[in-house]
Amino acid sequence: MRLNKFLASIGVCSRREADKAIEAGRVMINGQVVELGATVGDEDLVSFDGRYIGMGKDVEKIKPIIIAFNKPEGLVCTTSDNDGAMNVVDYIGMKERIYPVGRLDKDSSGLLLLTNQGSLTNSLLRAANYHEKEYIVKVNKDIDDAFINKMANGIYLYELKTKTRKCKVKKLNKNTFSIVLTQGLNRQIRRMCLACGMKVQKLNRVRIVNIKLDGLALGDYRNLSDEEVKKLYKELGIRDNG
């Protein structure tokens, strides 16, 4: 098994983060620093930042975990300290290694998936796959049809030097709307609203692909049902759990 997949499969980090760690010389196999593309055998001993984390055959012992978490505002999605803010992994406090699938801004709330499954993380992070994420957004001014149409048809974000993809936008009340994105640019919704003369007052993610926030209290998490996982994997084109 490739080393980056091994690290993702046992819940140390995503494959992308694993590649960066390997390039930085932070990963060893049998006491030797290795390079990108290294593989792990069943009896190989793997260390990360000088700490033993397991053998190649340990992957078979890892029980798949995928949870839905209703993130409160103020938590960060990095698994390290960020300006003193608590991260979601520490907040949840599971004994198993898990990590967030993608990001949700510190100032935003709502649905976040966490897992120890590298394949799920990689599939959801590939924005080109057009996976839907739905948000409910409250802004500081009344919205009209012109605003809805502008948001839906794509907005050029000068600071990112790109135009957002067309998306589904629906007015819910005078200053609240729903938006379904298929990409994940940095602070995308906030930047889009600013380009329209609006400032986001509250942003809440309510759906990722087929997984919905419905009924999950703020700060709580739940395991995904077998049916949810099966449908999610089908949508993402994942054939196995690793």
CATH 3.10.290.10 describes domain 3-61:
yes
Q: Is pLDDT of 241 > 50?
A: no
Active site residue 214: no
Q: Which residue has the higher pLDDT, 48 or 134?
A: 134
Q: Do domains 3-61 and 132-208 have the same CATH topology?
A: no
Q: Is pLDDT of 137 > 50?
A: yes
Read off the pLDDT of residues 85-110 as tens digits, 9 standing for 90 and up: 788 988 999 887 788 888 899 999 99
- For 109-115, what is the mean pLDDT? 94
> What confidence score (pLDDT) does residue 83 get?
62
What percentage of the chain reaches a pLDDT higher than 70?
93
Class of domain 66-127+210-236: alpha beta
Of the residues 105, 107, 145, 240, only one is catalytic, namely 105
Tell the CATH superfamily of the 132-208 domain: Alpha-L RNA-binding motif (3.30.70.1560)
How does residue 61 score in pLDDT terms, banded at 50, 70 and 90? low
> What confidence score (pLDDT) does residue 224 get?
94
> What confidence score (pLDDT) does residue 60 get?
65
Regarding pTM above 0.85, the answer is no
Q: Is pLDDT of 81 > 60?
A: no
Q: What is the DSSP track for 22-65?
A: HHTT-EEETTEE--TT-B--TT-EEEETTEEEEEGGGGGGPPP-
> What confidence score (pLDDT) does residue 166 get?
96
The dihedral built from the CA positions of residue 218, 221, 222 and 224, taken in this order, carries a sign that is positive
Q: For the chain, give every domain's residue range.
A: 3-61, 66-127+210-236, 132-208
